[in-house]
Structure 1
């Protein structure tokens, strides 16, 4: 397959999987077993393409956060908690990078994380049946979401969105749509910062800069943004009246398949 078409296909995969609790990074790594292996910059930057879709879906909410904090204490509180979650993610993420965390070369760790994550989804959904929906965001939610995002980054296959959403649910934000919104909003600065970090590293290295197929990265970024927009709109409608259990079954089926065939 032509390299540009491969990049566009990876953009489609990213856009479809970034917001679903099934691991976009895991799916990208799996796809690259058969397609050309891509750089860390490519894999992270196209996630930012999907995250760009969130800024469009939540544009009214983002405008309120940016302009209403002076007069609205509730908005200030939301900003502080979003900032706390992002700050924890950034600090622990940099620490993980310094300690040598990197994407795996094989699909086995991804498969294991997919299966474990599926079991976690079942457990959390069973627990949620006993809980009343709560929409308030506590400080425990902010800290937990920040830590969960780093765990997802260290163990591809976990799913950043799944880790953040289920951390929020377990720590008291038991309203699925509200938990998803908080996770997605925290993901905006998280993924843009991660992309900026990888971009800086690549631009600072003449060899890496010359080797990166920039036109393919841009095509994949744009594709992920368009597909991601449609996906997140669908997911928000879905979680308004459904559980995440089907995604748990999907994760387990995919994980087992990978262990058997790869």
Structure 2
């Protein structure tokens, strides 16, 4: 992997991790267009740069993220379903992660759903994440489990789940950001541990790529989150729905025409 490829993948990660468009689908498309061959370091890189994206949430929402214990307990309650189903369905999830076709189909289905979300859940009454109950947090956590199907988008699943529980667009998006911190940190830590357990040793050049990737992902994610909230309040999800349909369609066409798309 070159420095240029690392920067491009980090930009993709920063842009798509918190938007309802599936970072996995974009990583597949981006890496395939750049001719990046999947290997142990590439897999490590795409996981490790999530830490930069996580940090952007903590920095942007610093005052609101560090608040009462009650808030953390609610995040824990929302996080637990992902832990349970992640452990229960670990082998099946790994199998799905190797299927670009699954990613393409999930992008298309999710895109169609986003076309109608604003009409289905247009009367949100909860406009502040502090008003979320434990029961609501748990239900949003169940929605998050849908993102174990690659291409679904963790952000899309949790935001739609929040709106289904009477959260406003803004509150649903912000709770999705907050929930991303324990979820992505846990998933990243587990995968990094798996690499360490397998005896993988990274070189000094690879360490530099990881540093560059995390810095870029952090900066781009901060911009993406700030502008996403503003755009969402004004325009809703319809444009994201059409965008997902286009990206899913491109992936499907590439697969059906014989292109070998790699899940990295």
Distance 1:139 1:109 in 2: 32
Residue pairs, 1:118-137, within 5 angstroms? 118-129=111-122, 131-135=123-127, 136-137=131-132
Residues 40-94 of structure 1: per-residue CA shift (max 9 Å, x gap) = 432222222212111111101122x1xx44xxxxxx2x33221101122223223
Residues 237-261 of structure 1: per-residue CA shift (max 9 Å, x gap) = 2223221110001001111122123
Distance 1:229 1:83 in 2: 24
Distance 1:41 1:147 in 2: 27
Distance 2:224 2:98 in 1: 28
Question: Equivalent residue for 2:55?
Answer: 52
Structure 2 unpaired stretches of 5+: 256-264
Q: Measure how far apart 1:156 and its partner are.
A: 1.4
The answer to whether 1:165 aligns with 2:165 is no
Distance 2:31 2:197 in 1: 26
The answer to whether 1:145 aligns with 2:140 is yes
3-state secondary structure, aligned to 1:14: helix
The normalised TM-score by structure 2 is 0.85
Q: Measure how far apart 1:98 and its partner are.
A: 4.9
Structure 1 unpaired stretches of 5+: 70-75
The answer to whether 1:245 aligns with 2:244 is no
The normalised TM-score by structure 1 is 0.86
Distance 2:14 2:83 in 1: 23
3-state secondary structure, aligned to 2:58: helix
3-state secondary structure, aligned to 1:19: coil
Q: Tell me whether 41-50 or 224-233 shows the greater mean CA deviation.
A: 41-50
Distance 1:58 1:252 in 2: 31
Distance 1:115 1:98 in 2: 24
Residue pairs, 1:85-100, within 5 angstroms? 85-99=78-92
Distance 2:240 2:138 in 1: 25
Q: Measure how far apart 1:21 and its partner are.
A: 0.6
CA contact under 8 A between 1:124 and 1:170: conserved in structure 2? no
Residue pairs, 1:36-115, within 5 angstroms? 36=36, 37=38, 39-63=42-66, 65=67, 68-69=68-69, 76=70, 78-99=71-92, 101-102=94-95, 104-115=97-108
Q: Tell me whether 104-113 or 52-61 shows the greater mean CA deviation.
A: 104-113
Following TM superposition, where does structure 1 have runs of at least 4 consecutive aligned residues deviating by more than 4 angstroms?
none
Q: Measure how far apart 1:99 and its partner are.
A: 4.9
Residues 151-210 of structure 1: per-residue CA shift (max 9 Å, x gap) = 21x21111111111101111222x01111111110111111111111111111222x334
3-state secondary structure, aligned to 2:234: coil
Root-mean-square deviation over aligned CA pairs: 2.2
Distance 1:51 1:15 in 2: 10
**How many pairs were matched up?**
247
Q: Measure how far apart 1:103 and its partner are.
A: 5.7
